[in-house]
Structure 1
Amino acid sequence: MTMRERIASGKLFTDYCEGLPEDRLQAKKRMLAFNAAAPDALDQRSSLMNEIFGKETKAWIEPPFYFCYGTNIEIGEGSYLNFNCNFVDDTKIIIGKKVMFGPAVTIATVGHPLHPDYRGYMYADPVTILDNCWIGANVTICPGVTIGENTVIGAGSVVTRDIPANSVAVGNPCRVIRTIDEHDRKYYYKDREITPEDLDEEAGLR
C-alpha cells in the first residue's frame, strides 16, 4: 500500500514522500496567484480556480481562500464561498450545488491521535456537504462529517458528527435544534414576512 492509499483509506500517515510536498508547493503557488488576482480579473480568477481544483468549477469564491492541495476539493455549480475560508483537504471535500459559506469557515479532513507519542501521525476522513446548504460564519467542520441537503449550520458551530437534511443545527458540538418547515417559507427573519409583493418590488429594482 502506498502512502497516498493509506491517506485515502483512513490509516495513519505522514506526508513527506511520494510527491506530496511538491503537490502542496504547487497548490500554494496557485493559492497565492488566486488571492492576489485583481477583483475585476474575473477570467483570470476563473482560470485559476480550474487549475486549483483540477476541473472546471462554476462557483464564486471570495479571496482570500486557503487550502492544502485544492485537487481534493469538489465544489458544485452555483456555490458561494465568502472570504477567509480554510479547507484542509488531505482527502476529499465534496460540496454540492448552491451551497453558501459565510466568512472564515474551516473544513478539516485531518486529525491526529490523542496520545502525544503518536501525535506526529495524521489520519484523514472525507467531508461531504450536500446541495443547498448554508454554512454560517466561523463554522468548523471536523473530519468525516456529512451534512444533508438544505441544512443550515449556525454561525460559530463546531460540527463533529453528521447532520441530517432539512435541519437547523447550532452549537459546540453542533446539534439539530429544529427542522426547516413551512414557517420558514413564510418568514425570512423573526417576524419579517416573505410576500409576493415584496419579492416583486425587489425584482423590479435589479
Structure 2
Amino acid sequence: MSEKGKMLAGRLYDPSDEELLKLRLSARLLTEALNTTSVEYHQKRVEIVKHLFGSTGNTIHIESSFNCDYGSNIHVGDNFYANFGCVILDAAQVTFGENCLLAPQVGIYTATHPLDPTERNSGLELAKPITMGDNCWIGGHAVINPGVTLGNNVVVASGAVVTKSFGDNVVIGGNPAKVLKEIIAKP
C-alpha cells in the first residue's frame, strides 16, 4: 500500500514520501494563489478553491488567509463559508454538509501523532477523518480534533476544543467541548 493509501486508511504513514510531498506542494501553491488573489476577483477565487478541494457545492466563499495540507481531501456541500484565518489539516477526509459556516481562526485537524515516544520520534504520522453534517456553525477560534463527527444543526461555541463526536441539534462548547443546550428547530 502506498503512503498516501496508508494515510487515508488511518494507518501510520511517512509524510516525507515523495508523492505526499508533491501533493502538499501543489496545495500550498494553490492556497498561495487563493490568498494573493484580490477579493475583487471572486469568480477566480472560487475556481481556485474548486481546483484545490476534492469536491464542492455551487456556492463557496473562503476569506484569506486559508491554509490546508492537501486540499483534495476536503469536501464541502453547497453554501459553504470560511472566515479569515481558517486552517484545515486534511491528511484524512474532511467532509462538510450543506450550509456550513466557519468563523475566524477555526482549526480543523485530522493530523495526529503516535502517543508512544519511540513511534512518534520515527517521524511517522496518523490521520483520522472529520465529518460535519448540514447547517453546522463553528465559532471563532474553535478547534475540531481528529476523528470527530458532528451531526446536523450543530453550533460550536467560540473557543471550544472538540475532542469527541456529537449528534444532531446541539450547541457545544468548552474545553473539552460538552453539550451546552439542545436546539429545537422551527418547522
TM-score (norm: length of structure 1): 0.85
Structure 1 CA distance, aligned partners of 2:96 and 2:79?
Answer: 11
**Gaps spanning 5+ residues in structure 1: where?**
186-206
C-alpha distance in structure 2 between counterparts of 1:54 and 1:175, whole Å? 31
Q: What is the deviation of 1:53?
A: 1.1
What residue number does 1:108 align with?
A: 109
Question: Which residue does the alignment assign to 2:23?
Answer: 23
The equivalent residue for 2:151 is 148
Amino acid at match of 2:114: P
**How far, CA to CA, are the matches of 1:7 and 1:27 in structure 2?**
16
Alpha carbons 1:158, 1:171 under 8 Å: kept: yes
Residue type matched to 1:168 in 2? Answer: V
SS of the aligned residue for 1:19 comes to: helix
Q: Which residue of 2 aligns with 1:134?
A: 137
Per-residue CA deviation, residues 102-136 of structure 1 (Å, 9 max, x unaligned), is: 10000000111122212122111100011001100
Q: Is the 8 A contact 1:108 1:143 kept in 2?
A: yes
Counterpart of 2:66 in structure 1 is: 65
Q: How has the CA–CA distance of structure 1 residues 2 and 28 changed in structure 2, closer, same or farther, with 3 Å as cutoff?
A: same
1:38 matched to which residue of 2? Answer: 38
1:13 equivalent in alignment to 2:1 = no
Q: In the superposition, relative to structure 1, how do residues 32 and 152 fare at CA in structure 2: closer, same or farther (>3 Å)?
A: same
Looking at both structures, which has the greater relative contact order when contacts are Cα pairs under 8 Å and sequence separation is at least 6?
Answer: 2
Cα distance in 1, alignment partners of residues 118 and 80 from structure 2: 41
CA contact (8 A) 1:3 1:18 kept: no
For the 8 Å contact 2:56–2:77, the answer to whether it is kept is no
Query: 1:165 aligns to what?
Result: 168
Aligned residues: 183
Distance 1:118 1:96 in 2: 35
Instruction: After TM superposition, list the pairs within 5 Å mapping 1:85-124 onto structure 2.
Output: 85-119=86-120, 120-124=123-127
Q: 1:162 to 1:54 in 2, by over 3 A?
A: closer
Q: Specify the code of the residue in structure 2 equivalent to 1:172.
A: N
The separation in 2 between residues aligned to 1:160 and 1:54, in whole angstroms, is 25
Q: What 5-or-longer segments of structure 2 have no aligned partner?
A: none
Which structure's CA Rg is the greater one?
1
TM superposition shift of 1:50: 1.3
Tell me how far 1:56 sits from its aligned partner: 5.0
Residue 71 of structure 2 aligns to a residue in which SS?
Answer: coil
